[in-house]
Amino acid sequence: MAKTKYRVPPLKNKAPVWASTVFMGMGQLLFQKQYVKGAFYALIELLVLINSKYFIKGIVGLVTLGEPRPDLPIRQRPNSIFMMVEGIIFLILLAIFIILYITNIRDAAKLQRDYERTGVYPSTRAFMSSLADTSFAVIGLSPAMLMILFFVVLPLIFSAMLAFTNYSSPHHIPPANTVDWVGMDNFKTLAGRSLWAGAFGRTALWTLTWATLSTTTCYVGGLLIALALINKNIKFPNVFRIIFILPYAVPAMLSLMVWRNLLNGQFGPINRMLIEWGWISQPIHWLSDFTLARISVIVVNLWLGFPYFMMLITGVMTSVPADLYEASEIDGANKRVQFFKITLPMVLYQTVPLFIMSFSFNLNNFGAVYFLTGGGPTDLATTQSGAGATDILMSWMYKLTLDLRQYNMAAVLSILVFLVIAPFSIYNFSRTKAFKEGEL
């Protein structure tokens, strides 16, 4: 039997709704005796009307980003970036006003529907009492939501909008020059056959290679060390664990800068030691050769990152019931079979989500690259685009922003990186208990 859908009865008197539609709060004030609520809504619209010229100016400025005024002193010329930020702020305020406007109309309709059913409007005291009970969460979270809007959402929108402008050095840096909207031109430049396209393809490919190799080597390295230290024949395993955890305990930036000096091609201790031992006759350019620099980055990251997986996998392996191994030995399984049939499946089941999270982290692992190689080495092509041999997309964005001042291209890269990282983050979040069950 089909279920009968509940239909909301039509209003007999729509005057309060129309009044609140014409001006916020009028339905509550004139018809429904909701003086506190109506005054609040009316005050909101009055403030918007009084400051409407600023809203119009801000939104127009966001659309035009200012007109070039070479006749004015530089300080008096329109600043396109300030106008963009102001326009975004007014758009957010306008969105908040629209939400309140719709809420005001729906509230008037709900009050009128309740009145037609009961014949009584709620008193001011009843409204204040219900406000403390039903709207406490909304009122309490409002300051936090405003902070999120202006300190999280606004910068995200601003950085995304820069990707559709020509905000770059040397011809479009305010206030000396204005910034213009260019639509999808920046994306077409990265997708076409140009210096930028080649740099993007090379850097994106290396970023994926770097994230895959750095995550895999750290995971496998941590797994092998954990297997070695859990062996009963190893004496003093805790001492070795403390030694191996030291690279992870020291700040990564300091470790990377030490390694940068150790691998210096001219006066680095490693080269000097190898020459004194007679293993090499000429210094090895660890960080100035394209291939060696990439290998060095991966090896140093392995030294920094394997302790994390070592401790993680050790904890997983110690939680595997000993009965499984005893039963497998009775069935004639050797150590190799036990590893592939018991240990490895259990470890993978527990750590694959963290492996994926580590992969997404390494896609953005700015420090591991920048503090060791600075993104280099470079040649003529990489110098012009700013993307060195070991630069990943994140370090390239940093150099585009601070060194080359190509803010528009850096914004394009940030959008592309987001499109790559977001699926991994969503996947990891969707596997959490809080997401599946709706609670912590």
Res. 353: pLDDT tops 50: yes
Place of tokens 């102001």: 86
User: By C-alpha distance, which of 207, 229, 420, 395 is closest to 306?
Assistant: 229
**Which of 36-40, 163-167, 330-334, 420-424 reaches the highest mean pLDDT?**
163-167
1 band by pLDDT with thresholds 50, 70 and 90: very low
DSSP character string of 193-250: SSHHHHHHHHHHHHHHHHHHHHHHHHHHHHHHHHHHHHSTT-SSHHHHHHHHHHHHHS
Place of tokens 């309490």: 140
Res. 378: pLDDT tops 70: yes
Q: Report the DSSP beta bridge partners of residue 165.
A: 181
Question: Are the CB atoms for 19 and 28 separated by under 8 Å?
Answer: no
Res. 3: pLDDT tops 70: no
pTM, 2 dp? 0.81
Q: What gap in Å lies between CA 218 and CA 321, rounded to an integer?
A: 26
* Mean pLDDT (whole number) for 230-237: 81
The amino acid present at 35, given as its one-letter code, is Y
Res. 380: pLDDT tops 80: no
| Domain edges within the chain | 15-67+75-125+140-183, 190-437
Lowest mean pLDDT among 25-34, 83-92, 134-143: 134-143
DSSP character string of 369-402: HHHHHTT----HHHHHH---TT--HHHHHHHHHH
pLDDT of amino acid 25: 92
Place of tokens 């200012």: 66
If one compares 10 and 401, the residue with the highest pLDDT of the two is 401
Instruction: Label residue 24 exposed, middle or buried (CB < 10 Å: 0-12, 13-18, 19+).
Output: buried
**How many CB atoms are closer than 10 A to CB 246?**
10
Contacts 24+ apart (CB under 8 A), 286-289: 287/260, 287/263, 287/372, 287/373, 287/376, 287/377, 288/376, 288/377, 289/377
Place of tokens 């089941």: 349
Lowest mean pLDDT among 210-219, 302-311, 338-347: 338-347
Could you report the per-residue pLDDT of 25-76, keeping only the tens digit for each? 999 999 988 888 899 999 999 999 999 999 999 999 999 998 888 888 888 8
440 band by pLDDT with thresholds 50, 70 and 90: very low
Q: Which CATH class is domain 190-437?
A: mainly alpha
Mean pLDDT of the chain: 87
Q: What is the dihedral of CA 279, 282, 284, 289, to 10 degrees?
A: -150
Torsions phi, psi for 181 (to 5 deg)? -75, 135
pLDDT of amino acid 162: 94
pLDDT of amino acid 159: 93
* Mean pLDDT (whole number) for 110-121: 87
For the four alpha carbons of 21, 22, 24 and 28, in that order, the dihedral sign comes to negative
With b for 16 or more beta-carbon neighbours within 10 A and e for fewer, the 120-159 pattern comes to ebbeeeebeeeeeeeeeeeeeeeeeeeeebeeeebeebbe
435 band by pLDDT with thresholds 50, 70 and 90: low
DSSP 76: G
Question: Are the CB atoms for 244 and 310 separated by under 8 Å?
Answer: yes
Res. 136: pLDDT tops 60: yes
